[in-house]
C-alpha cells in the first residue's frame, strides 16, 4: 500500500507542473496520461522527449526488473547476486558468473559507440532521452519511492548511454549468441584448467521461442480492410515481458503497442494505417566454424594452411563480500568467439575447436527499423523498412493495412550463406550438427560469408534473397519456416540458413492452418471471429488421437484401474484447454509420453499435403499396448501430484497473486494449442504459466483510424504493490478483451489519471 500511495502522490505532484515550463527551453519534455489497466499514452514533440517519457513510465511499472537488466549487461550479477545465482539470458537461465564473463567479453563498447553514430538522429535521440527519463524517475522516486523488491540495493543506480548500448546488444542477440553464452564464457584451451561445462546446442524450439501471427487481407475480411491478430508467446517472468505503450511523437509518429525492457517505442503494434506483429523466425542467425588447431599451439588455428593466432581477452569479474575477483581468458577468431557445448560434441582439443559468427552482433539498426514501421502507411513501406535496414534481429514481420494488403516478411539479419556454400564448405562432421546449426569449414577463407553489395553490414544476406510475400487473402506464421505461410502458395526453396523447405510442420502450425481455414469457410473474418480463433484453445493433437484412444479403451481386455480412469476422463474431455475443460490435465501429461513414439502414425508426412499429414494413430498390436500403458502412467503421475484425471483445467493451471489463484486457459503448443501456455508446477502450488500467450492484439481499421482489441495476459507491472500487477490477468482469465483508446477523445474518456508533464 505504501508503494501505491507514493505512486499516487508522485502523479499528483507532476500534474501540477506548470504548462509554461514547456516553453522554458527544457531539453526533455513529455506528457503521460494513464488509461484503463495503467496503459501510458506518452506525448512529446521531440524524439528525445519520447524516450524520456517512455523510460519514466516504464520505470514506474517495472523499475526493479529494468535495474536488474542494467546490472546483467554490465557484468555485475556475481557482485550483487552471487556467482551461483541465475540470470535470464534470452529465453533461458545461466549462472551469474558465466553471464558476467559473457557480457564483459562480448560487449565491445568502443565498437557499439562507433556504430551508434551511424544510427538515424531519431534513434540517437530516443536513446539519449531514455537515459534521462530513467534517471529522472530515480530522482523523483527518492530512496523511499523505490519498490520494496529493490529498495536500497546498490544495483539500482543512474545509467549512461553505455548501459543502453549494452542492453540493445543483449536484445538483438536473444536468439543467437545468448543461447550459447555459457559455452562462450567457459571455453578454454585443452588442459587441466578447462572448466567443466554441461551444455548442448539448443534444439529447434528448445529455447521455448514461440508466437502466432495472422495478417488478413481485404479478400478475407468482412469490411475489405486489413486485419492483424498478434499472439506472441513470451515469458511471464523476467526481462522479456511485454509492456504496453502509446507514443505520439515528432514527424507524424503515432503508434501503440508493446515493447520489451529498454525499448523506447512499440516494437509490435499499430498506427492509423497499419498493424504488425512478430513471430520468432526459423532462420539461423549465426554459423559455426570448425577450426583446425595448429599442432604446436592450441590457441592457434590454420586458415589456408597458415597458422593464425587467436585473440585472447582477459576478463575479470568482481565477487561479493571481499571474495577475490575471478579472471578468465577467452579467445576469439576471425569468425568470432570460441565456444564449447560438450553434450553436443562441441569441444576444444588439440586437433579441433569451434567458433561462431553472429549476424546480429553489433546490429544497432533495430530501433531505426521500428521507427520506420511505426511511421508506415501501408505494408509496402513496412517491407521496405525491414529490407533496407536488415535491422529486424530474429523475428518474422506479419502486417496488414487499411487498404486490405497483407504481408509476411521473413527478412532479418542472417548470414549470407547459400545452399551451395553450405554444401561446398561442409566438413566431415557437418551433417552431425545439421539439425542444430550450420557448420562451415574454418580452415578456408572461401568459407567466409559472402559479401553482397548494398547491405548495411558485410556478410548479411540481402533481402532480395529472403522471403517476403504480399497477398489479399491471408498470411500466417507459427514459427515454422518461410516455405508455408499460406497453404495455397508454398514459397520456392531458399538457402537452408532461412529454414527447412517442404518439411513436416509442427502441430501448432498445422492447427493454425486448420482453424484459420475452418473459420474462413464459415465466413469472412471480423473482430468476433478473430477473438474466437485466438482463444479457441483447441488441441489438434487431441483431435488426431483421442478417437483412436477411445477405440483402444474398448478393446482392452483387463485394463488396470489407472487405464480405466484414464479412458473415462479422455472420453468426457472436450479436447480443449479452457478453464472448465475436464481431461486437459491428463492429456498434458499423456501426450509428451507418446508424441515421439516410433511408428506413431499410419499416414506419414507428405509435402504435398503438409497440413493434414502425418495422421491416423497406429493402434495395432504392441503399439496400442504402449499407448494404453502411457495413459496409465499419466494417470499415476497425476495421482502423485494430487490431481484427478478429470480435474477442471482451471483448477490445475493458475496464476498466484498473493493468496488468490487466477485460473488460466491455454495449453501446450506441442499439443497443437494455438493459445500456448507452457507451465511449471510451483512447489506446493499449482501449475503456473512460465511462457506463452502474452500480449494479444486484434487490429482492424475504420474511416477514423485503428480499431484494436487487446489484452496483456500477465499485466503491466511487476511490482506487487501496483494496481496493475494482475488486473489484466484477471481479464485474460475470463477472455475479456479491451478496446484500446487511440484517438485523443477516447484517451480522455478512459483516463484514470490527469495528464502529467515532466521536463528538465
Catalytic annotation, residues: 211
Please provide the DSSP assignment of 579-644 as one string.
TT-BSHHHHHHHHHHHTT-TT-EEE---TTSTTT-SEEE--SHHHHHHHHHHHHHHHHHHHHHT--
Q: What is the CA radius of gyration of the chain?
A: 26
Torsion sign across C-alpha atoms 255, 256, 257, 258 = positive
Residue that the C-alpha cell 485474460 belongs to: 732
**Please, are residues 638 and 646 in contact by the beta-carbon 8 Å criterion?**
no
CB 252: neighbour CB atoms within 10 A? Answer: 11
Q: How far is CA 526 from the centre of its chain?
A: 27
| C-alpha distance from residue 596 to each of 173, 489, 551, 600, 671 (Å) | 31, 29, 21, 7, 12
Please state whether 479 falls in left (phi above 0), alpha (psi between -120 and 50) or beta: left
Residue with cell 491416423: 616
Contact 174, 234 (CB under 8 A): no
C-alpha cell at 523: 465466413
Of 116, 65, 77, 410, which Cα lies nearest the Cα of 238? 65
Please, which residues have CB within 8 angstroms of residue 213's CB and are 6 or more apart in sequence? 228, 229, 230, 231, 232, 277, 278, 279, 396, 398, 476, 477, 478
At 656, phi and psi to the nearest 5? -80, 130
Rounded to whole angstroms, the Cα distance separating 569 from 542 reads 13
Q: What is the sign of the dihedral through the CA atoms of 181, 183, 188 and 189? A: negative
- DSSP letter for 419, please: H
> Cell 548500448 sits at which residue?
165
C-alpha cell at 713: 495476459
* 373-400: b (≥16 Cβ within 10 Å) or e: bbbbebbebbbebbbbbbbbbbbbbbbb
Q: What is the DSSP string of 261-285?
A: TT-SS-SEEE-SSEEEEEEE-SS--
- Burial call 736-757: b when 16+ CB within 10 Å, e when fewer: ebbebbbeeebbeebeebebbb
Distance (Å, whole) CA 318 – CA 182: 18
Cβ neighbours for 207, distance < 8 A, ≥ 6 positions apart? 90, 91, 92, 175, 179
Reported in sequence order, the residue ranges of 139-195 that DSSP labels E, i.e. its strands, are none
d(CA 654, CA 642): 15
Task: Dig out the grid coordinates for 395 from the structure.
Answer: 523475428
Amino acid at each position: 500500500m505504501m508503494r501505491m500511495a507514493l505512486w499516487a502522490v508522485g502523479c499528483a505532484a507532476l500534474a501540477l507542473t506548470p504548462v509554461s515550463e514547456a516553453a522554458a527551453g527544457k531539453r526533455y519534455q513529455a506528457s503521460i496520461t494513464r488509461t484503463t489497466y495503467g496503459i501510458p499514452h506518452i506525448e512529446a514533440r521531440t524524439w528525445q522527449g519520447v524516450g524520456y517519457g517512455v523510460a519514466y513510465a516504464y520505470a514506474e511499472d517495472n523499475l526493479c526488473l529494468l535495474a536488474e537488466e542494467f546490472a546483467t549487461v554490465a557484468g555485475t550479477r556475481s557482485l550483487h547476486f552471487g556467482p551461483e545465482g541465475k540470470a535470464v539470458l534470452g529465453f533461458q537461465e545461466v549462472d551469474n558468473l558465466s553471464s558476467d564473463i559473457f557480457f564483459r567479453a562480448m560487449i565491445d563498447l568502443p565498437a557499439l559507440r562507433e556504430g551508434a553514430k551511424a544510427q538515424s538522429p531519431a534513434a540517437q535521440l530516443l536513446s539519449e532521452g531514455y537515459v534521462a527519463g530513467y534517471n529522472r524517475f530515480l530522482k523523483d522516486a527518492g530512496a523511499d519511492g523505490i519498490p520494496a523488491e529493490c529498495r536500497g540495493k546498490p544495483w539500482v543506480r543512474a545509467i549512461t548511454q553505455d548501459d543502453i548500448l549494452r542492453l540493445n546488444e543483449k536484445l538483438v542477440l536473444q536468439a543467437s549468441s545468448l543461447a550459447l553464452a555459457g559455452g562462450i564464457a567457459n571455453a578454454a584451451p585443452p588442459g587441466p584448467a578447462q572448466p567443466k561445462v554441461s551444455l548442448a546446442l539448443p534444439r529447434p524450439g528448445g529455447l521455448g521461442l514461440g508466437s502466432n501471427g495472422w495478417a488478413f487481407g481485404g479478400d478475407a475480411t468482412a469490411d475489405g480492410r486489413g486485419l492483424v491478430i498478434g499472439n506472441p508467446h513470451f515469458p511471464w517472468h523476467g526481462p522479456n515481458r511485454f509492456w504496453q505503450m502509446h507514443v505520439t511523437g515528432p514527424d507524424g509518429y503515432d503508434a501503440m503497442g508493446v515493447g520489451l525492457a529498454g525499448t523506447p517505442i512499440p516494437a509490435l503494434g499499430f498506427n492509423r494505417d497499419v498493424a504488425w506483429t512478430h513471430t520468432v523466425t526459423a532462420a539461423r542467425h549465426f554459423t559455426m566454424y570448425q577450426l583446425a588447431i595448429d599442432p604446436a599451439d592450441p590457441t592457434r588455428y590454420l586458415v589456408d594452411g597458415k597458422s593464425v593466432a587467436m585473440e585472447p581477452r582477459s576478463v575479470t569479474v568482481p565477487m561479493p563480500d571481499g571474495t577475490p575477483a575471478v579472471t578468465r581468458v577467452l579467445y576469439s577468431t576471425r569468425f568470432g568467439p570460441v565456444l564449447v557445448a560438450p553434450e553436443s560434441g562441441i569441444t576444444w582439443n588439440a586437433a579441433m575447436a569451434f567458433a561462431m559468427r553472429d549476424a546480429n552482433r553489433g546490429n544497432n539498426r533495430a530501433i531505426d527499423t521500428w521507427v520506420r514501421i511505426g511511421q508506415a502507411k501501408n505494408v509496402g513501406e513496412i517491407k521496405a523498412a525491414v529490407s533496407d535496414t536488415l535491422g529486424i534481429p530474429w523475428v518474422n514481420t506479419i502486417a496488414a493495412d487499411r487498404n486490405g494488403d497483407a504481408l509476411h516478411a521473413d527478412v532479418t539479419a542472417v548470414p549470407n550463406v547459400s545452399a551451395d556454400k553450405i554444401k561446398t564448405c561442409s566438413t566431415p562432421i557437418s551433417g552431425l550438427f545439421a539439425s542444430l546449426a550450420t557448420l562451415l569449414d574454418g580452415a578456408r577463407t572461401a568459407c567466409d560469408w559472402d559479401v553482397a553489395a548494398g547491405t548495411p553490414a558485410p556478410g548479411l544476406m540481402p533481402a532480395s534473397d529472403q522471403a517476403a510475400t504480399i497477398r489479399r487473402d491471408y498470411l500466417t506464421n507459427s514459427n515454422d519456416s518461410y516455405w508455408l505461410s499460406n497453404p495455397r502458395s508454398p514459397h520456392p526453396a531458399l538457402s537452408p540458413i532461412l529454414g527447412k523447405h517442404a518439411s513436416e510442420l509442427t502441430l501448432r502450425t498445422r492447427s493454425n492452418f486448420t482453424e484459420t481455414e475452418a473459420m474462413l469457410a464459415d465466413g469472412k473474418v471480423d473482430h468476433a471471429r478473430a477473438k474466437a480463433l485466438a482463444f479457441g484453445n483447441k488441441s489438434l493433437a487431441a483431435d488426431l488421437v483421442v478417437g483412436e484412444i477411445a477405440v483402444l479403451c474398448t478393446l482392452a481386455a483387463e485394463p488396470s484401474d489407472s487405464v480405466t480412469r484414464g479412458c473415462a476422463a479422455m472420453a468426457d474431455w472436450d479436447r480443449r484447454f479452457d478453464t472448465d475443460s475436464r481431461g486437459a490435465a491428463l492429456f498434458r501429461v499423456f501426450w509428451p509420453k507418446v508424441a515421439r513414439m516410433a511408428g506413431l502414425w499410419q499416414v506419414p508426412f507428405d509435402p504435398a499435403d503438409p497440413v493434414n499429414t502425418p495422421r491416423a494413430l497406429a493402434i495395432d498390436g504392441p503399439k496400442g499396448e504402449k499407448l494404453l500403458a502411457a495413459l496409465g502412467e499419466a494417470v499415476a503421475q497425476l495421482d502423485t501430484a494430487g490431481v484427478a484425471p478429470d480435474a477442471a483445467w482451471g483448477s490445475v493451471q493458475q496464476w498466484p497473486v498473493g493468496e488468490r489463484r487466477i485460473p488460466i486457459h491455454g495449453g501446450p503448443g506441442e499439443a497443437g494449442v494455438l493459445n500456448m501456455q507452457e507451465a511449471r508446477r510451483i512447489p506446493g502450488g499449482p501449475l503456473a504459466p512460465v511462457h506463452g500467450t502474452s500480449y494479444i492484439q486484434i487490429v482492424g481499421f475504420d474511416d477514423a483510424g485503428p480499431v484494436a482489441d487487446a489484452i496483456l495476459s500477465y499485466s503491466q507491472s511487476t511490482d506487487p504493490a501496483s494496481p496493475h500487477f494482475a488486473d489484466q490477468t484477471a481479464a485474460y482469465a475470463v477472455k475479456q478483451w479491451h478496446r484500446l483508446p487511440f484517438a485523443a477523445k477516447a484517451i480522455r474518456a478512459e483516463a484514470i489519471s490527469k495528464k502529467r508533464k515532466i521536463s528538465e
